[in-house]
Structure 1
Amino acid sequence: MKRKYIYSFCIAMAASVLVSSCKKDFLETAPTDQVSAAAVFTTTSNAAAAMNGVYRLMFSAYDNQDESGEGSVMIDIDMLGEDLVNPTVGNNWFISLYRYITTRSVTASQTAFVYRYYYRLISNANAIIEGVEGATGTDAEKSVIRGEALAIRAYAHFKLVQLYAQRYAAGGPNTQLGIPINITTTVQKLPRSTVEEVYAQINKDLNAAITNLGTAPARLNKSHINLSVAQGMKARVALAMQDYPTAATFAAQARMSASGISLMSNTDYTAGFNNLTNSEWMWGINQIADQGTFFYSFFAYMSVNFSSTNIRGNPKCINSTLYDQIPATDIRKSLWDPTAKSTAFPVPPSGSRFPYMNRKFLANSASNSYGDLPFMRLAEMYLIEAEANARQGKNAEAQNALYTLAIKRNPSYVKSASTGTNLINEIMLQRRSELWGEGFRFTDLKRLNLPLNRNGANHVASVAMVFDIPVGDQRWQWLFPQAEINANNLIVQNPN
């Protein structure tokens, strides 16, 4: 069965896998624990193995090198912001995206991948949510699996609506077109729901996930979603909705329920962001060393040391104006080299050096792009709590949350006495420097209704090409892939 289309009714989804002769089973299990599709939902053990397969989809290699699950989307989102700088075109990977060409093309493979990838997660989550009910096992086991699948379904819908629809506007009707909501294994064409309806479904799923995971035993691995991660997702969604009381509440709940999680040391901060055992990571990729994705890996484009053509010729840099605002005593400032001369930056053989290049991300070696990757960290929860409180005028609460994080990164940091806009600006500066390269900047600009402004920094005109995008511009919405439009005549395309 040939299924290259994107969305649930036309991709090889879990439900169709169970009843068809597809050569590729997209309800994948962990490579070391394969189960047949027919046996997936006979027991909760097999359903849990199928859930492992969903997580595996998040760092699998797809059709092209810029299509490797969540890591590739993280790069996409930062390429569209102003804080990640390409000093050259390198070998062209992600450059069209950086120039806002890819997201305006209905035939671009990268945007089609993102759409297909998230609906693939959704389709598999739907199959698990429906199928686990009939599995043999305890109610507690079913609850954990159901909770994880609900959280994944919410997470994927949230990513999609942020990219392919207009921003959520607090206090407005939000009747602008969002994305198709898919919450069943039934194969059908679905129209775009409103942004309000999409966020309502996301929150419904997250609320149910939190309930299901509330009494779950300790997870076996940080690659799996638990209660604190689901609460962190809820905080992210509320922040995007400008529902600041809910964002602050769930960010605090997420960090308090994150058992065994604490802010990392400064030594760990410069260790390469490549190890799931890091004390601060709440959720991330657990990359098995002998199952690397080579040139599909996040580290093949974002690390300083892997010997890919892309990194040798185009190491990723920080926006110089952002770098200049980071205090000299802050450990984060050491992650970028404004001189292009520091030997602390281990470039690969024949690699080029450029001012403001990063060493935040380190691959296993010059010859191996292996590395774990964070999807959620404790620092983000402190930043959400600080921002959400500051935007409510709760200055003391915001200052306290910010201080807890900032003093860990900068021993000379003095607790902020700022209020109002000045406090918010300080928090956002901390957010930009803390989360650089982790896939937040484009969606942060969009949720806050801020323009893209790459001026006055180290962006190269011939490389970036696009320096300004005003708020409300149609380029803030990605175009739907033409393959989806062809397969589903209910889809209304975004303005081009």
Structure 2
Amino acid sequence: MNKKNIIYILLAGALFSSCSKDYLTVDPQSTINPDQLGSSSAATLGTLRGVFATLRSATTTGYAGHEDYGHKGVLSVIDLMGNDVIMENLNWGGFNYNYTGRVSTNSRTHFPWFTYYTQIKNVNTIINSVDANTDDAELRGIRGQALALRGYFHFMLARIFGPTFVGHTSDLSIPINADTALPNRSTVGEVYAQIEKDLVEAVAALEGYTRPSKEMVDQSVAQAFLADVYLEMGKYPEAAEQANAARQSYTLLSEADWKNGFYDMNQAETMWGADINAELTTFVASFFSIFDNTNTGYAEGGNISIDRRLYDAMSSTDYRKSAFLGSEGGVFSGTEYGPYISLKFRDMTSDRTQGDYIYLRSSLLYYIEAEALAKSNNESGARDVLFEITSKRDPQYVKSTKTGAALIEEIITQKRIELWGEGFAWFDLKRLSKGVVRNYAGSNHPTYGKFDIPVGDSRFLFMIPQAEVDSNPDILPNNPQ
């Protein structure tokens, strides 16, 4: 093979040929002339819809088997690498749970790499085709979404394959594919500068844009992406500002809705997700197959559970605790389950195969804002924001009086409880310089997952896939094994 970066050649022609069956059903690629992009909002929107379709489609990268169900699949396996989500029997996602999947020769490194770089290539086609100063409001909104996605996809890759931002800005991260696809790894500082630039521009471009559905991105979603990036960068006042702005048009879930299975993207807190229906479902290779213990699929009978320490950290008056069984297990809908089994994610559609994917909920923004305020010397404001959401989950919750590190710890604990299984905890371990601790007295992690990983260990970095290295040696050095 010629010495070319896979980022250049990845699925060559995918945008205008056969990215996936689902992509073709959105808008047949043979009808879209690349010259139309940038002048025809219909053609450009069709291309953008193809990106969103691929993000929720199964096995499109050719790697990772049935755990490859797009963006939700990446979020799912990443959460299996932290302390809080337990896989009782090794199944799809198990290579991440036991950390054997992060080495360069394992397909689990290819999965996120190909997922996001393929779509970066595709959104670049939109960004490069649409005039940044266009007077067409629809085209401006489409370009704004493409910029938001490019920034977010680079952010996902940087957190998986690169070190954290603070203290590592001169270290190597990932290649940037923006104005020019670079064959070499850029520094952490350079990568985050590009991410920030894209997202700031996206927020501005999406001002006043109304999306047709939550499958697409609007200004609030771009602001949420930017808030998370600013938190990673240690820009705490900016993170708090963006998080607060992003959550304003959303209301927190009621108890009944929170406990209803997280299968409907139209629920109040959903900011961004994917609508799954009978024509699109690939149930065996899906989130609910692996995480819904009450359904048929890989988790059937109980395979995903919660770490006992996090379960014990929940107040008895916190209704979120009822989404998990306790130390004795229990019976749910006539089936007996083991200790600490999760009941949080349940596909409640008519045939239990069409549950939507929820990528982003507005509840995340409360924790970003609270942490950012606390780290901006506004601990009183941080406690107010934490109380605003926690009192909705636990009517007996008393506003925190903690300060300093203890307040941050309370915020992060509540975040782990709220967003358990949704793809955030492992990234926070890296960002906050906390290790993986599973081998403790009374641990309910199984033997193959009962180990500790100290802060700074190479296992917090995925290695660059071997196929990328073989095609493009300029990308070396690889992350250590």
TM band (smaller chain) = over 0.9
Amino acid at match of 2:479: N
- Give 2:99's aligned residue: 100
Cα separation, partners in 2 of 1:235 and 1:345, compared to 1, 3 Å? farther
- Runs of at least 5 residues in structure 1 that lack an aligned partner in the other structure: none
Q: Distance in 1 between matches of 2:322 and 2:458?
A: 37
Whether contact under 8 Å (1:337, 1:355) holds in the other structure is yes
Q: Distance in 1 between matches of 2:353 and 2:204?
A: 38
* Aligned-pair CA distance for 1:59: 0.8
Q: Distance in 2 between matches of 1:284 and 1:403?
A: 27
- Give 2:479's aligned residue: 494
Q: Give the root-mean-square deviation of aligned CA atoms.
A: 2.4
1:462-486 Cα offsets, whole Å, 9 max, x none, are 2314x21111111111011100001
Whether contact under 8 Å (1:252, 1:382) holds in the other structure is yes
Q: Distance in 2 between matches of 1:315 and 1:366?
A: 23
Q: Distance in 2 between matches of 1:134 and 1:400?
A: 40
* Aligned-pair CA distance for 1:17: 4.6
Cα separation, partners in 2 of 1:52 and 1:495, compared to 1, 3 Å? same
TM-score of the two chains, using structure 2 as the length reference: 0.92
* Aligned-pair CA distance for 1:214: 1.1
Matches within 5 A, 1:10-25: 10-13=9-12, 17-18=15-16, 24-25=18-19
1:197 aligns with 2:183: no
- More off after superposition, 34-43 vs 264-273: 34-43
Whether contact under 8 Å (1:87, 1:459) holds in the other structure is no
Matches within 5 A, 1:64-143: 64-89=65-90, 92-103=91-102, 105-133=103-131, 139-143=136-140
1:31 aligns with 2:11: no
Cα separation, partners in 2 of 1:196 and 1:346, compared to 1, 3 Å? farther
- Give 1:328's aligned residue: 316
Amino acid at match of 1:494: N
Whether contact under 8 Å (1:280, 1:378) holds in the other structure is yes
Amino acid at match of 1:495: P
Q: Distance in 2 between matches of 1:457 and 1:59?
A: 38
Q: Distance in 2 between matches of 1:226 and 1:55?
A: 13
* Aligned-pair CA distance for 1:26: 6.4
1:463 aligns with 2:463: no
* Aligned-pair CA distance for 1:450: 0.8
Matches within 5 A, 1:31-50: 31-35=25-29, 36-38=31-33, 41=37, 43-50=40-47
Matches within 5 A, 1:233-248: 233-248=225-240
- Any idea what SS the aligned residue of 1:282 has? strand
- More off after superposition, 245-254 vs 29-38: 29-38
- Give 2:366's aligned residue: 382
Q: Give the alignment partner of residue 289 of structure 1, picking from 278, 287, 297.
A: 278
- Give 2:344's aligned residue: 360
Amino acid at match of 2:323: L
- Any idea what SS the aligned residue of 1:12 has? coil
* Aligned-pair CA distance for 1:413: 1.2
Whether contact under 8 Å (2:104, 2:465) holds in the other structure is yes
- Runs of at least 5 residues in structure 2 that lack an aligned partner in the other structure: none
1:80-121 Cα offsets, whole Å, 9 max, x none, are 1000012233xx322221111110x21211210110110011
TM-score of the two chains, using structure 1 as the length reference: 0.89
Q: Distance in 1 between matches of 2:15 and 2:143?
A: 19
Count of residues paired in the alignment: 471
Amino acid at match of 1:230: A
Q: Give the alignment partner of residue 343 of structure 1, picking from 324, 331, 334.
A: 331
1:397 aligns with 2:385: no
Amino acid at match of 2:269: E
* Aligned-pair CA distance for 1:46: 1.3
1:375-412 Cα offsets, whole Å, 9 max, x none, are 21111111111111112231110011011101111111
Cα separation, partners in 2 of 1:159 and 1:495, compared to 1, 3 Å? same
- More off after superposition, 126-135 vs 357-366: 126-135
- Any idea what SS the aligned residue of 1:283 has? strand
Amino acid at match of 1:68: Y
* Aligned-pair CA distance for 1:179: 0.2
Q: Distance in 1 between matches of 2:76 and 2:45?
A: 29
- Give 2:169's aligned residue: 174
1:369 aligns with 2:353: yes
* Aligned-pair CA distance for 1:369: 3.1
* Aligned-pair CA distance for 1:76: 1.4
Cα separation, partners in 2 of 1:427 and 1:370, compared to 1, 3 Å? same
1:285-308 Cα offsets, whole Å, 9 max, x none, are 121233102111111101122211
1:429 aligns with 2:426: no
* Aligned-pair CA distance for 1:343: 3.2
Whether contact under 8 Å (1:214, 1:227) holds in the other structure is yes
Q: Percent identity?
A: 35
- Any idea what SS the aligned residue of 2:271 has? strand
1:274 aligns with 2:263: yes
- Give 1:53's aligned residue: 50
Cα separation, partners in 2 of 1:341 and 1:24, compared to 1, 3 Å? same
Whether contact under 8 Å (2:113, 2:157) holds in the other structure is yes
Whether contact under 8 Å (2:302, 2:341) holds in the other structure is no
Whether contact under 8 Å (2:5, 2:183) holds in the other structure is no
* Aligned-pair CA distance for 1:341: 4.5
Amino acid at match of 2:33: A
Whether contact under 8 Å (1:6, 1:483) holds in the other structure is no
- Give 1:154's aligned residue: 151
Amino acid at match of 1:247: A
Amino acid at match of 1:462: T
Q: Distance in 2 between matches of 1:70 and 1:346?
A: 33
* Aligned-pair CA distance for 1:165: 0.9
Cα separation, partners in 2 of 1:476 and 1:366, compared to 1, 3 Å? farther
1:46-76 Cα offsets, whole Å, 9 max, x none, are 1111111111111111132111111111111
1:279-332 Cα offsets, whole Å, 9 max, x none, are 111111121233102111111101122211x21255210110110010011111
Cα separation, partners in 2 of 1:457 and 1:439, compared to 1, 3 Å? farther
Q: Distance in 1 between matches of 2:5 and 2:262?
A: 32
1:250-297 Cα offsets, whole Å, 9 max, x none, are 1011112x3xx2001000011000101111111111212331021111
Whether contact under 8 Å (1:150, 1:208) holds in the other structure is yes
Whether contact under 8 Å (1:339, 1:356) holds in the other structure is yes
Whether contact under 8 Å (1:165, 1:179) holds in the other structure is yes
Q: Distance in 1 between matches of 2:5 and 2:333?
A: 40
- More off after superposition, 433-442 vs 365-374: 365-374
Amino acid at match of 1:249: E
Cα separation, partners in 2 of 1:6 and 1:95, compared to 1, 3 Å? farther
Q: Give the alignment partner of residue 303 of structure 1, picking from 289, 292, 296.
A: 292
